[in-house]
Structure 1
Amino acid sequence: MLCIIGWFIAFSTSAQVTQTLRGRVVDKESKYPLAGATVVVGEQTTFGTQTDPDGQYRLPQVPVGRYRVRITLVGYKEVLLNNIILDAGRETILDVDLEERVTDLSEVSVRARRSGEAANEMAVVSARQFSVEETDRYAGSRGEPARMASNFAGVQGADDSRNDIVIRGNSPAGVLWRLEGVTIPNPNHFAIAGTSGGPVSIINNKYLANSDFFTGAFPAEFANSIAGAFDLKLRNGNNQKHEFMAQFGFLGTEAMAEGPLSRQSGASYLASVRYANLWLFSRAGIDIGTQAVPTYLDGFFRLNFPTKNGGSLSLWGVGGSSTIDILISEQQADDRNIFGSNDRDQYYTSHMAATGATYQQPLSQSTYFRATLAYTTNIQDANHDYLFLRKDTQGRPVVENERYVVEAKVPILDYQFNEDKISLATSLNHKFGPRSTLKVGLNADLVHFRAFDSTRTFIDAASTQLGPWRQRWDANQAFVQLQPYAQWKYFLTDRLTLNVGLSSFLSTLNKNSFSPVEPRGGLIYDLPNRQKLTFATGLHSQAMPTYLYFYHHPYITPANRTEGTSAQAGLIKSWHWVTGYSRLLGQNMRLLLEAYYQRLFDVPVEARAGSSFSILNSGSAFSRVFPDRLVNEGVGRNYGLELTLEKFFSQGYSFLVTTSVFDSKYRATDGLWRNTDFNGRYAFNALLSKEFVVRQRSRFNVGAKFTAIGGRWYGPVDEVASRQQQEIIYQDAGRNTQQFAPYRRFDLKTEYKINRAGLTHTIAVDFVNVLGIQNQLSLSYAPQPDGTFIKQEYQLGFLPVFYYRVDF
């Protein structure tokens, strides 16, 4: 690799390389094009222009590099954007929304909108906009939105094998994923029912536009979530120039193309594809967590057709397929498999797809309409074969030639879950003037859920005989979800802004899945010296994962299987209260403090008296849950304090420091307050990025990240039940009385970017867990030759994630 870098340096020249910066400026609420806005790039050597009647601007021949962009227009708040990158291989298209000022600038000093502030006009607190550049810049993020978000205050990951995120102590299952306004299934390869994360994201940051991430008290348009939300936006392809990208790296081989369908109309296309090549790195001896090699494929397309007055019609689609076969019968006895159990062969496949059409149109200078119609599907298919191993006289598995001796393979599990959905999301924004904006909308889903699952277990813990097949799922049902909402933003004074909203959520799954009124509200108070106070509160609700409504517990007889044991469970409810203080420290630094309290109620717990089970602990692993009948009698509480200190990129470097201290507890039918699985109690992240300019046209970046998080909670193992079920079953009474050691990880990232005329080469290596710290992950069911079966699993060790990319 050093030879490759040296070759590129040797053939670079000192001639100046330039690129075009262009885009569109529109009103934030009405999306109407704004003419006459001034766009200035740079601080010392500046380039500037103004937008045309269609809101378009163009700055050609800007030298490649990083810039600060300032957008101003009389009657609107100034926008300051840091860290805008211009590379030779790709035009930079920067679309900007401007927010109208309430008063003239001469009457009051109005703060500028800056990098990182949420694009959603109704967001008050606990919201942040993230860019594609951020997902690439942060060490350890692997180019994924979820891993990138784990660096923010109040958010923790702490699982190297998955990108689940825990927001303020809530289960990852409480995270909502939206794309172009519609809710999508878990957008990860190897997804498991009831989870929102996975090992590798299907979503590729290269086709995302700037998107919003919410960690609490979010606006009324977001429903069916109690923890947080990703509101992902898709970018359009370049409508003036054909551009291409090719990339080879640890996470796959990728290709992308974009360009104009018609330069006259401005129509464009964008398409990408990625295929995994982990087999190559597994053979090279790099630890990927398992000897079984995962395979996956994902792709994306978007066709955009402009309409009059800045509107557009877009056709888009994203999807992925993944497969892994963990064949213990063909592996060595001591092979590592953090994704499976060593008493069976496992075959697993998952598919996810979302495709739709988005129409958006400014109806006037004060009214904007948007609608998305989409179809999504999510499929998981698994089969397990139990391995009867040859045993010695003491009942221990025999190992010959470093392999277990398999006497027989017997099928013990077969399941397929399939959830198809047709979704409609509509919204109408109307601005009554600079002081008042109303947004109303409707989100509707028609869901078709099909599930089949049969399994066999041992007759008892001491038996070696498998019992008969038992059906746990047999479902084929359609239902509707509806969520109307209204939001109103009003400037009470020049400095005080009120946001109020109402939402409602209905699922026809059962009569208890209806939340008629969910009020949301917030205040923003702008103080002198670039300070701000915020407060927001709201009632939120969420349905359980669909598969849980149709689960048949063993005591349900075949004659009584018209509905699952938890078919009548209602919605989880949650009140959020969040207050915040922020201050700009100089031109490019921000301090943010937030305190929050979350009260959870109507939480599904087991109806069985004395049970410690709560749905709040599910959704973070490669497994489903199999509870007794669930009823809405549980409660929970989360509270904490968060600090963020961020320096936006300037003078060649940036940094982000986040600290969270919190407590997360729940109470089930046993009446005891317990730690949730995710009550780490603290989370700390420190990130630094430094850039060095090489020969004017090239840049070398070094990034570092240190993470420290409190360990997950667990309890004593019920050995009798675990042997019978062939998986780890914890003792009910001791649930979450023990804690894993704290999680620590140090990451480094290096990136070298070489710009030549019309071409950009990028070579990057993300050194994950560069110190090789051995962090605890979980306990797994893994029968050993010595007769034991409880195995401590550990996170991934040192993992170099690299790629080479060329843009042209």
Structure 2
Amino acid sequence: MIRYFLMLLCYIPLVVIGQISQTVKGDIVDAESKYPLIGARVTLISSDSSRILNSTSDLDGFYRFENVPIGKYAIVATYSSYLKSSQNIVINSGKESIIQIELQEDVITTEAVDIVGRKAGDINNDMAMISARQFSVEETNRYAGSRGDPARMASNFAGVQGADDSRNDIVVRGNSPIGLLWKVEGIDLPNPNHFAVSGSTGGPVAILNNKILGNSDFFMSAFPADYGNSISGVFDLKLRKGNTDKHEFTGQFGFLGTEVMAEGPINRENRSSYLVMGRYSTLSIFQAMNIRIGTDAVPTYGDGAFKLSFPLKKGGHLGFFGIGGASDIAIKISDQTEVSEEAFGEGDRDQYFGTAMGVFGITYKKPLSMNTYFKATVAQTYDQQRSHHDFLERSIDSSVVNGETQYKIRTDSIYQLMGYKFKTYKTALYTSINHKINKRHIIRGGLNVDGYYINNQDSALNVAHTEFTTRHNYEGFSALIQPFIQYKWRVNENMGFTAGIHSQYFSLSDSWSYAEPRLGWKWNVGNGNELSAGAGLHSQMQPTYQYTYQRVDSEGNARRLNEDMDFTRSFHSAIGYQKRFKNALTIKTELYYQHLYNIPVDTYASSFSLINQGSGFQRFFPDELVNEGTGRNYGAELTIQKYFNKSFYFLATGSLFESKYKGSDNIERNTDFNGNYAVNFLAGKEFKINEKNMISAGIKVTAAGGKRYGYVDVDETVLNNELVFKDSLFNTRQFKDYFRLDIKLTYVLNTEKLTHEIGLDLVNLLNTRNILALSYAPNLIDPSAEPIAKRYQLGFLPIFYYKIDFSFNRRNKVSN
């Protein structure tokens, strides 16, 4: 595969006549009030310092550079009585570079010390003091093995586990992925992944596309009061705006999808813009063309997103945005006639599964004054999961051919086993006001209101397959209300302190969390050294479908067993140290402790706890639960990172941790997510052929502790036609450690108006056989054999793509 990749490069012309240039532009605003800064100075410095260009912002805070030769630059912004901002950018020929800059007001203006406010890796929400990472599309898009998936990119951060090739669940510091909150423009998102199972936040393929994202924030603990309904982490996504001057297009063809994106001006005079994109699964396209791809269970999925941006007078902004996707798959075991190990895995049913999600929103932003900023978002979201299973009664035909016994599987009968459709419509409102009292004191207050319309229907055959039972039959409304207030005190130029209160109420279960305090502290000791600490109380509602599960008694009366479940709650604490060196090198370490309580567990003594739910493709059907379970997570993390600077980057992360819990039997056990350690090493290097051509190579190595599991109760497994583990020995065993090596190769060719990019991601290059899980696998040849099989993760997978960026309506203006 590598040989063919290199051969392809030989057919692409490596020399283009003439110097290629591009436009760099953006806005400069006050970090707190978002008020445009007039007359701010912006400087572009080439990586070799041979070229220095200057510009200033206009009455709307807008700056612009024309005819900038392509390459790597540092962009530096300065403004009187504000701290300097500096970041690195890469300029290509196919798309203009749009860089939004926020400057922070200087507490004590001084000419003697050059203090930089915004540095590489700094997050957008400066109320966060600890356990927060910037999700930079420019940086993370270089990571090998990430497949263009924001969740898989984030799994490289210290404290985040990504040792499941089948899904992109984000496991933060040993917490269930249920605890993660996805947000965009202040609104809580439904699960933004294809083939999303109810009660989960991950999936095998992301609906989100990194091409529409700006730099976003990822929180892992003790996050500010802005964020609620999460006990694990928050992924706060920012959607970028389209180009305001010219129309630009991106097309990409690859193994994971064929996609197109367009952006450009709606009205150049008022700088309004559009951005729209769509993607469809490439394998489905091959199937429609009758091209055999080795399997009949072809996943079909499509997704899209858009953002319309309309600037208003005096820094105001009106935006419309949308994200959505749908997916389907049919796994038909009844079509299999050959005997193989794969034929036995979940080999008693045909499965049909589909999902859909979408969000449409309107956001309004307005600086009310030089010190006050208002933001409001109204959105409608929708998510749906639907499935039905057909049960197969099968047998084996045998024959002797040339003295050897050959077996064929025969399907004798098919009948429906179960079916469900879960639909949730949500109307969401987010509003906040940010007020800068003075240079030292900033306060932010706001409100989140989510109104849910839930329609859950589900029925299945009983264990004896004699009659159907209704497990969900609910239609109704509920509301989640979350007010918050957050305060920041800039004690001096080197120290900041934050305090906040978050509260929430969920009407379906009548659950209250009256006051959740949040505290944060950061001290820039000097010489690049920084200390930080944080603590807070957090709570989260349970997945909505768990409130609507019902059981019918002997008299035919239905009762929802868990509609009164309370919030799961957690106390977070963390301390950290960071050292910034020259040449974009940073070392960061954190220690943390989390106490989880109020976790739903069985009313009788058992090992069950909701703390272990949220990964995989299975729903669960519990008995009546009570909020009496506990858990604890503690550990240490280390990050050594050299941000992409000049032509090289690397990222090394490691975490040692424990994740324990107690069910209703009061016995402490390992959680499903207690791998004990996780290590990632990523590095990349760009090789410049000439001014227009570049090859880059990246490597990723991941090692992590194996998944936890227990001993199978064979008799109960046979009776229920699914795996049942012995309760007393739950999670007492562990699979062997996980290991994976990925390589990424990329070639970029810049022509006058086009940028070509060819990429090859070699996932699991060593074809390491990592165990995913045990599965129910009845053996038709030997019915007395234990119906258990090991299921393995992804083998070696080469993922290719070809991308092209181009534009038109370029304006020819004189360079600054």
Q: Scaled by the length of structure 2, what TM-score is found?
A: 0.94
Give the match for residue 494 of structure 1. Answer: 493
Letter in 2 for 1:32: Y
SS at match of 2:547: helix
Q: 1:69 aligns with which of 72, 75, 83?
A: 75
Residue 568 of structure 2 corresponds to residue 572 of structure 1 = yes
Distance in 1, Cα, partners of 2:700 & 2:369: 47
1:404 maps to what in 2? 409
What do residues 171-204 of structure 1 show as CA deviations (whole Å, max 9, x unaligned)?
0110000011100100000000010000100011
Partner residue of 2:85? 79
Report the Cα distance in structure 1 between the residues aligned to 2:66 and 2:769, rounded to whole angstroms: 51
Percent identity of equivalent pairs: 46
- Spell out the pairing of 1:325-474 with structure 2 (5 A cutoff): 325-333=330-338, 341-391=346-396, 403-459=408-464, 466-474=465-473
1:689 paired residue among 684, 692, 697: 684
Residues in 1 aligned to 2:345 and 2:262: alpha-carbon distance in whole angstroms? 37
Select the residue among 183, 192, 195 that pairs with 1:178.
183
**Which of 31, 48, 52 does residue 46 from structure 1 map onto?**
52
- 1:134-166: CA deviation from partner (whole Å, max 9, x where unpaired): 332100111111000000000011111110011
Partner of 2:810: none
- Matched residues in 1 for 2:416 and 2:758: separation? 46
- Does the 8 Å CA contact 2:108/2:492 hold for their aligned counterparts? no
- Verify: 1:544 aligned to 2:542, yes or no: yes
Question: 2:715 matched to 1:727?
Answer: no
Evaluate the alpha carbon distance shift between residue 280 and residue 747 of structure 1 in structure 2; reply closer, same or farther with a 3 A threshold: farther
Instruction: Establish whether residue 657 from structure 1 lines up as the match of residue 652 from structure 2.
Output: yes
Matched, 1:316 2:312: no
CA contact (8 A) 1:14 1:696 kept: no
Q: Residues of 2 paired with 1:672 and 1:534: CA distance?
A: 35
- What letter is aligned with 1:670? D
Correspondence for 1:702: 697
Deviations along 1:581-601, whole A, 9 cap, x unmatched?
Answer: 001122310010100000001
Q: Cα distance 1:403–1:21, how it changes in 2: closer, same or farther (>3 A)?
A: farther
What is aligned with 1:396?
none
Aligned equivalents of 2:329 and 2:345: distance in 1?
10
1:607 equivalent to 2:606? Answer no
User: In the aligned structure 2, how far is the partner of 1:633 from the partner of 1:611?
Assistant: 12
Change in CA separation of 1:335 and 1:39 when aligned onto 2, cut-off 3 Å: farther
Q: Deviations over 1:32-79 (max 9, x none)?
A: 011222222225122221211211111111111222222222211222
| Contact 1:303/1:316, CA 8 A, preserved across alignment | yes
Mapped pair 1:17 → 2:12: no
Query: Counterpart of 2:11?
Result: 7
Q: Distance in 1 between matches of 2:176 and 2:419?
A: 27
Correspondence for 1:223: 228
Residues 400 and 280 of structure 1, relative CA distance in 2, 3 Å threshold: farther
The whole-number CA distance in structure 1 between the counterparts of 2:40 and 2:337 is 66
Equivalent position to 1:248, from 241, 253, 259: 253
User: In structure 1, what residue type is equivalent to 2:466?
Assistant: G
CA pair 25-457 structure 1, distance change in 2 beyond 3 A: same
Number of residue pairs matched?
789
Displacement after TM superposition at 1:112 (Å): 3.6
Distance 1:695 1:632, change over 3 A: same
Describe the shift of the 1:417–1:335 C-alpha distance in structure 2 as closer, same or farther (beyond 3 A).
Answer: farther
Q: Secondary structure at the match of 1:405?
A: strand
The superposition leaves residues 260-280 of structure 1 with CA deviations (integer Å, 9 ceiling, x where unpaired) of 111112111111110001257
Distance 1:502 1:759, change over 3 A: same
Q: Distance in 1 between matches of 2:673 and 2:514?
A: 30
Amino acid of the residue matched to residue 777 of structure 1?
Answer: L
Q: Deviations over 1:658-682 (max 9, x none)?
A: 0100000000111110000000010
TM alignment of 1:559-598, pairs within 5 A: 559-561=556-558, 563-598=559-594
Superposition deviation, residue 337 in structure 1: 6.2
Partner of 2:664: 669
TM-score (norm 1): 0.95
Secondary structure (helix, strand or coil) at the match of 2:697 reads: strand
Q: SS in structure 1 opposite 2:130?
A: coil
Distance in structure 1 (CA, Å) of the matches to 2:572 and 2:342: 40
Deviates more, 1:722-731 or 1:635-644: 722-731
Q: Could you tell me which residue of structure 1 aligns to residue 618 of structure 2?
A: 623
Does 96-105 or 516-525 show the bigger shift?
A: 96-105
Alpha-carbon shift at residue 749 of structure 1 (Å) = 0.3
Q: Which moved more, 1:621-630 or 1:42-51?
A: 42-51
Instruction: Please identify, of 141-150 and 402-411, the stretch whose mean Cα deviation from structure 2 is larger.
Output: 402-411
Show the counterpart of 1:152.
157
- State the distance in 2 between where 1:765 and 1:232 align: 27
SS at match of 2:493: coil
Residue 721 of structure 1, CA deviation: 2.1
Q: Is the 8 A contact 2:683 2:698 kept in 1?
A: yes
Residues 735-754 of structure 1: per-residue CA shift (max 9 Å, x gap):
10000111000000011010
For residues 486 and 339 of structure 1, do their structure 2 counterparts lie closer, same or farther at Cα, with a shift above 3 Å needed?
farther
CA distance in 1, matches of 2:796, 2:239: 33
The correspondence for 2:141, drawn from 136, 141, 145, is: 136
Task: Tell me which of 35, 38, 41 is aligned to 2:38.
Answer: 35
- In the alignment, the residues of structure 2 paired with residue 652 and residue 415 of structure 1 have an alpha-carbon distance, to the nearest angstrom, of 52
Query: What secondary structure is seen at the aligned counterpart in 2 of 1:151?
Result: coil
Cα displacement (A) at 1:230: 0.5
Q: Which residue type is aligned with residue 281 of structure 2?
A: A
Change (3 A) 1:267 1:493: closer
Distance 1:589 1:242, change over 3 A: same
Separation (CA, whole Å) in 2 of partners of 1:14 and 1:558: 85
Cα distance in 1 for partners of 2:281, 2:165 equals 18
* Distance in 2 of aligned mates of 1:91 and 1:579: 40
CA contact (8 A) 1:331 1:403 kept: no
Provide the residue aligned with 1:507 in structure 2: 506
The answer to whether the 8 Å contact 2:765/2:796 transfers is yes
- Answer yes or no: is the 8 Å Cα contact 1:495–1:527 preserved in 2: yes
Does the 8 A contact of 1:22 with 1:58 survive in 2?
Answer: yes
On the 8 A contact 2:600/2:629 being kept in 1, the answer is: yes
One-letter identity of the residue aligned with 1:55: G
Per-residue deviation, 1:333: 4.0
Query: Does residue 1:165 correspond to 2:164, yes or no?
Result: no
CA distance in 1, matches of 2:246, 2:578: 41
Q: Counterparts of 1:184 and 1:558 in 2: how far apart (Å)?
A: 40
- Answer yes or no: is 1:646 the counterpart of 2:650: no
Question: Gapped runs of 5+ residues in structure 2?
Answer: 399-403, 807-816
Work out the CA distance in 2 between the residues paired with 1:730 and 1:55: 62
8 A Cα contact 2:329 2:352, kept in partner: yes
Contact residue 344 and residue 779 of structure 2 kept, 8 A:
no
The equivalent residue for 2:760 is: 765
Q: Is the CA contact (8 Å cut-off) linking 2:178 and 2:201 kept in structure 1?
A: yes
Please list the CA deviations of residues 280-300 of structure 1 after superposition, one character each: whole Å capped at 9, or x if unmatched. Answer: 77998878xx75110001111
Distance 2:477 2:372 in 1: 36
Q: CA RMSD in A?
A: 2.0
Per-residue deviation, 1:401: 8.0
CA deviations on 1:83-108 (whole Å, 9 max, x unpaired) are: x1211010010001111111013466
The one-letter amino acid paired with 2:67 is Q
Q: How far does residue 315 in structure 1 lie from its aligned partner after superposition? A: 1.1
1:74 corresponds to which letter in structure 2? S
One-letter amino acid of the structure 1 residue matched with residue 517 of structure 2:
P
8 Å CA contact retained: 2:339, 2:409: no
Equivalent position SS for 1:492: strand
CA distance, structure 2, for counterparts of residue 619 and residue 335 of structure 1: 30
Amino acid at match of 1:259: G
